[in-house]
Amino acid sequence: MTDTNEQYKINHFPKQSQAEPGLQSRMSPTPDDGAADYVGHERLKYKKALITGGDSGIGRAVAIAYAHEGADIVLNYLPEEESDAQEVKGIVESLGQHIKLVPGDLKSEIFSQALVDEAVAFLGDISILVLVAGKQQAVVDIAELSTTQLIDTYTTNVFSAIWLIKAALPHLQPGSSIITTNSIQADQPAPFLVDYAGTKAALKNMTISLAKQFANRGIRVNSVAPGPIWTPLQIVGGQLPENIPTFGQSTPLKRAGQPAELAGAYVFLASDETSYITGESIKVTGGL
């Protein structure tokens, strides 16, 4: 038996910051993506996944887990994150799976549509659409919340999800799965994440609506709600700088989560084992 509290426990994160979007490879400590420990069981064999935000953090851990489970992958990320994405590519290919990297900004509807086209051209079709990419910037006073940030946050987190789902829908066969990423912020919003928390509440509700809409197509739509997870999102402005050293310690488990600890939820929701689950949100929050 492994005590996961001890396995993943970090008592103190060094204060650090990067410019958006940030690189996982430059973080201290480096987030655990599960590459060293994940054991696959062919639960996604022959499945084909399009994953956004897959260069680092949660999306990276999901891509690695999916490759361990037998899926081929198209990975989206921002061009500035190329070095992290290349690391993921090497890991996936070392597991014998196919992967295509497609850098680009999801704030563009045209690019979002082109991303799906490239995924279909590479994979043949899409059986799993995983939406992880997101923008989070802490702003203590709403008077300082700019319209530019408001638009960028909603476009990245909500509008792009709708654009991608619309573009992918003609290529999703019965048995396909869409997985969105909301947050503990959808239910327990922090005072300094007004715009981000609002987008995550929207995603949570949108997931339920689409689950009902797509039920007769045989397409399931579910979501994962992370709590405080150690990813680049936190150190590029997503958290207040003074919160970084004790990040995650207010949870009942008294620690932050690692991306590797979310991958199983995304595998579960994409697998055939969840054929009777739709419209649900799995909380991975350390007990919050």
Q: Which of 8, 38, 154, 196 is an active site residue?
A: 196
Please state, in angstroms and rounded to a whole number, the distance separating the CA atoms of residues 72 and 75. 10
In 3D space, the residue among 66, 116, 61 whose CA is nearest the CA of residue 229 turns out to be 61
Which residues fall within 8 angstroms of residue 88, CB to CB, at 6 or more apart? Answer: 54, 55, 60, 63, 64, 75, 99
Paired with 224 in beta bridges are 181, 282
Give the DSSP letter string of 85-153.
HHHHHHHHHHTT--EEEEE--TT-HHHHHHHHHHHHHHHSS-SEEE---------SSGGG--HHHHHHH
Angular region, 15: left φ>0, alpha ψ -120 to 50, beta rest: beta
Type of residue found at 83:
S
In 3D space, the residue among 18, 27, 17, 168 whose CA is nearest the CA of residue 87 turns out to be 27
- CA distances to 61, 102, 261 from 87, in Å: 12, 14, 20
Give the DSSP letter string of 227-275.
-SB-SHHIIIIIS-GGGSTTTTTTSTTSS-B-THHHHHHHHHHHSGGGT
154 a catalytic residue: no
Coil, helix or strand for 10? coil
Dihedral of CA 254/258/261/267: which sign? positive
Q: Which residues are catalytic?
A: 196
